[in-house]
Chains A and B, each alone.
Chain A
Amino acid sequence: MLMNPLNAAVAPRGRTVLLSSVSSDSHTWNLVFLQLLLEEMGHRVINLGACVPDELLVRECSAIRPDLVVISTVNGHGQVDGARLIGKLRSEPRTRDTPVVIGGKLGITGGAEADGMARRLVSAGFSAVFQDDAEPAEIGRFLASLDHPAPRHPVAAS
C-alpha cells in the first residue's frame, strides 16, 4: 500500500528514492516536505508514510530497488527502531548494498548523546546519519555524490 504522490514530474536523470518513517513513528510533515523537496530536485519519490513496519520497508525496498532509501523520524525512537531496521535491510541479499540514510530527532534527550548515537547507527549499517540540525539540502548533496563510485566505508554527517 503506497501513499499518494504529491507531484508527478520526474527529471529524466532523476533518481528513485524510497522515503519512509520507522515502525513506531506517526509523524509525516518531515516526509511530506522531503518528498516535495526531492521531487523538485527532479527525483522520483515513493513515500511509504507513517508507522512503516520493518517487513513492509524491506519488501518495498527489495521490489523497487531504489537508488537511495531515506529514513526520516522525529519521535525520539529512531535510535532503537533505526538500528533494528537497518539490521534487517543489511541481512537481506537484495537490500544489503542499497544506500540507506537516516535523519531527524533520533533520541528523546536532545543534543547530548547525538554523536555517539550517530556512530552507533553508522556501525549498525546506515550509509549516513543526518542530525536534527542538518540542512535538508544535504540529502540532495548525498544523492549527487551517488553519481560517483563512492568509497564503501560509511560517512557520518552531523
Chain B
Amino acid sequence: MSTSGSFAGLAARRRAAGLLVQPRMGFSDPRWMRAGLAAVRRARAATVGTLTLDSYTRVKDYDTAERALADGYPLNGYPLVTHGPDTTRAVLDGIQGPGFPVQVRHGSPLPDDIIAALVTAGLDATEGGPVSYCLPYSRVPLREATASWARSCERFAELRDRGVEPHLESFGGCMMGQMCPPGLLIAITVLEGLFFHRHGLRSISLSYAQQTDARQDEEAVAALRSLATAFLPDDTDWHIVVYTYMGKYPRTHGGALLVLRAAAELAVRTGATRLIVKTPAESYRIPTIEENVEALEFAGAAAAAEATRTPPDPARVPDTGIAAEARQLIEAVLDLHPDVGQALVRAFAKGYLDVPYCLHSDNHGRARGYIDEAGRLRWASVGSMPIRGITGGTREHTVGSSELLSALSYVERTHDLLALRSQDTRTSDALDAGTTAADLRQA
C-alpha cells in the first residue's frame, strides 16, 4: 500500500496529537472557504479540514449553483463542481498538506461528478455511501445510487496508480441523524465499508453518530469496532469516526457544548480516530468561521481532558445485544447475494434493512424507533428485519406526532435544561461541574 494520500498518516497523527477534530464547514465564496480552512488549520487542536458542498451540487443542479454565484447569493456550502479545479486548487494552495488533510463532505447519491471534480482538484478524501447518501436524502432509486457509487469508488481507487491512497468514509452510522437504533447504524456502515473495499478502496473509515444515551453509544462503538475487525478484509486500513449528535441540536450555547463534550468523551473512550464537530450556532443557522474554530478547540480540549482520566472499566458498559443485532443484520444481508451492492438492494426490497422514518420509496418504512424512559434508543417496531427480540421486545402502540416531536427534541431539551439550570448559558464554566444529561434525568 502506498503511504502518500492525505488520510494515510491519520492513525499515527491520532496517536501523537490526540483525537482529530473536524468541522462540517462550507462556504460558497472561495475566499471565505480558504479563510475558513486556514483558520481550522491554525486552531489550537489536532484538526482535519473540510470542504462541505452546497445542496444544489448534491442534486446536480449546477445551473442554479452557477446563477447563485453570479448573483452573489450565498449558498449553504462550497459548489466544488461549479467553481472548477483551478479555483479549488487556489483555495487549498499552501493550506492542504501532510499535516492538514482536507476531506470533501457532500451528501450526493450520484457522486460521479463530485468524485471526478475532487480528484482533478488534487483532493483524495471524501465520504458518503450507496445507502447512506441515497435513502435519507434523495429520491434516486437505490439501484441507481449503488451503480453510481460503485463506478465512483472504482474511479476514485485509480488514484492509487498515481501513488496516492484515496480515502472514503461511510456515512452509514448516521442514517436520518436520529431515531435509528444503533444495531442498524453499525450494520449499514460496515456493509458500506465492505462495498467500498469490493470496489477497490483500501483506506476506509466507518462512522457512528452520537445518539441519546452515553452508555448505549459506548456499547455501540465497541460493537462497531469488533464487527469491522471481523468483516473487513485484512488489507483494509480503517478507522472509526464519531459524529457529534446529528439530530435536533440544543438552542442554548451551554446545552450545545454539553452535547459536544459528551461526543468528544465518547470518541476518546472508544478509541475513535476522528470526531466530526457541530457548533452551538448549528440549531438556527450556518455557523461562522470563528464559531467553527471555537467548537473545534472546545472539542479538542474536552478530548484531551478525557484522555487523562483513568480508562473506563469495560464492565461498566453492559452488553445489551447491540453487537449481536448488528451481526445478525450484516450476515442476513451478505447471504442475499455474493455482490454486496446487489445484496444491499435486495435487503431493502425484502425489508431486511428498514430505516425508521425514512420516506424513500425503496425503504419498507415499517420500522420505528423510540426513546425509552431511561433515555435509550429502542425499537418500537422492527418491520421485517430479522432481529426481533435481540435488544429487547418491541411494543404495541405506534409512535404518534407528539411522541415523535418530543423524541426528536429529546437531546435538545435535556441539554438545554441542564445548561439553564447551571445558570450560565453564555460560557462553558457550567461544564466544569461534571454534570451530565444522565444526571439530569435522575433529578
A→B interface (CB under 8 Å)? 1-4, 6-7, 23-26, 28-29, 31-33, 36-37, 40, 47, 49-52, 75-77, 80, 105, 108-110, 132, 136
- Does B76 contact A75, Cβ atoms closer than 8 Å? yes
In the complex, whether B280 has a CB less than 8 A from a CB of chain A is: no
In the complex, whether B359 has a CB less than 8 A from a CB of chain A is: yes
> A23, A49, A110: which contacts B359 (Cβ < 8 A)?
A49
Q: Contact mask B316-360 → A, CB, 8 Å, 1/0?
A: 000000000000000000000000000000000000000001111
Give bound CA distance, A31 to B401, whole Å.
Answer: 11
- Does B61 contact A24, Cβ atoms closer than 8 Å? yes
- A and B contact pairs by CB, cutoff 8 A, 29 listed: A3-B359, A4-B359, A4-B361, A4-B363, A26-B55, A26-B137, A28-B136, A28-B176, A28-B357, A29-B176, A29-B177, A29-B248, A29-B357, A31-B359, A32-B357, A32-B404, A33-B405, A37-B401, A51-B138, A76-B285, A77-B55, A77-B56, A77-B76, A80-B68, A105-B284, A108-B74, A108-B76, A108-B285, A109-B285
Known: A23-B59, A25-B55, A76-B76. Contact between A50 and B137, CB under 8 A? yes
Return the chain B residue nearest A107 by Cβ. B285
Chain B neighbourhood of A109, CB < 8 A: 285
Return the chain A residue nearest B58 by Cβ. A26
Chain B neighbourhood of A33, CB < 8 A: 401, 404-405, 408
Known: A29-B176, A40-B401. Contact between A51 and B139, CB under 8 A? yes
Chain A neighbourhood of B59, CB < 8 A: 23-24, 26, 51
The 6 A-B residue pairs with the shortest CB-CB distance in the complex, in nearest-first order? A26-B137, A4-B365, A36-B401, A3-B359, A49-B359, A37-B401
B249 CB, nearest partner CB in chain A, Å: 13
Give bound CA distance, A105 to B56, whole Å.
Answer: 17
18 more CB-based (< 8 A) A-B contacts, given A3-B359, A76-B286, A108-B76: A1-B361, A3-B365, A4-B364, A26-B58, A26-B138, A28-B176, A29-B248, A29-B357, A31-B359, A32-B357, A36-B400, A40-B401, A50-B137, A50-B139, A75-B55, A76-B285, A132-B284, A136-B405
In the complex, whether B255 has a CB less than 8 A from a CB of chain A is: no
Chain B neighbourhood of A76, CB < 8 A: 76, 285-286
Q: Contact mask B404-415 → A, CB, 8 Å, 1/0?
A: 110010000000
Give bound CA distance, A105 to B281, whole Å.
Answer: 14
Chain A neighbourhood of B107, CB < 8 A: 26
B60 CB, nearest partner CB in chain A, Å: 10
- Does A110 contact B136, Cβ atoms closer than 8 Å? no
* Segment 157-188 of B: residues with Cβ below 8 Å from A: 176-178
In the complex, whether B64 has a CB less than 8 A from a CB of chain A is: yes
Is the contact region of chain A dominated by helix, strand, or loop, or is it mixed? loop
Chain B neighbourhood of A47, CB < 8 A: 359
Give bound CA distance, A29 to B177, whole Å.
Answer: 10
A146 CB, nearest partner CB in chain B, Å: 20
- Does A32 contact B55, Cβ atoms closer than 8 Å? no
- Does B400 contact A32, Cβ atoms closer than 8 Å? no
Known: A33-B401, A75-B55. Contact between A110 and B365, CB under 8 A? no
Chain B neighbourhood of A132, CB < 8 A: 284
Give bound CA distance, A74 to B105, whole Å.
Answer: 19
Chain A neighbourhood of B359, CB < 8 A: 3-4, 28, 31-32, 47, 49-50
A84 CB, nearest partner CB in chain B, Å: 8
* Segment 43-75 of B: residues with Cβ below 8 Å from A: 55-56, 58-59, 61, 64, 68, 73-75
Is the contact region of chain B dominated by helix, strand, or loop, or is it mixed? loop
Chain B neighbourhood of A28, CB < 8 A: 136, 176, 357-359
B369 CB, nearest partner CB in chain A, Å: 12
Give bound CA distance, A135 to B360, whole Å.
Answer: 27
- Does B55 contact A36, Cβ atoms closer than 8 Å? no
A117 CB, nearest partner CB in chain B, Å: 13
Give bound CA distance, A115 to B361, whole Å.
Answer: 36
Q: Contact mask B393-404 → A, CB, 8 Å, 1/0?
A: 000001011001
- Does A23 contact B404, Cβ atoms closer than 8 Å? no
Chain B neighbourhood of A1, CB < 8 A: 139, 361
- Residue among B139, B359, B408 facing the most chain A CB atoms (10 A cut-off): B359
Give bound CA distance, A36 to B177, whole Å.
Answer: 19
Chain B neighbourhood of A2, CB < 8 A: 361
- Does B360 contact A49, Cβ atoms closer than 8 Å? yes
Give bound CA distance, A52 to B73, whole Å.
Answer: 22
Chain A neighbourhood of B56, CB < 8 A: 24, 77
Chain B neighbourhood of A40, CB < 8 A: 400-401
Give bound CA distance, A141 to B398, whole Å.
Answer: 25
- Does B55 contact A110, Cβ atoms closer than 8 Å? no
> A4, A32, A50, A108: which contacts B138 (Cβ < 8 A)?
A50
Give bound CA distance, A97 to B276, whole Å.
Answer: 46
Chain A neighbourhood of B137, CB < 8 A: 26, 50-51
A43 CB, nearest partner CB in chain B, Å: 12
B33 CB, nearest partner CB in chain A, Å: 15
Chain B neighbourhood of A80, CB < 8 A: 64, 68, 73
Chain B neighbourhood of A26, CB < 8 A: 55, 58-59, 107, 136-138
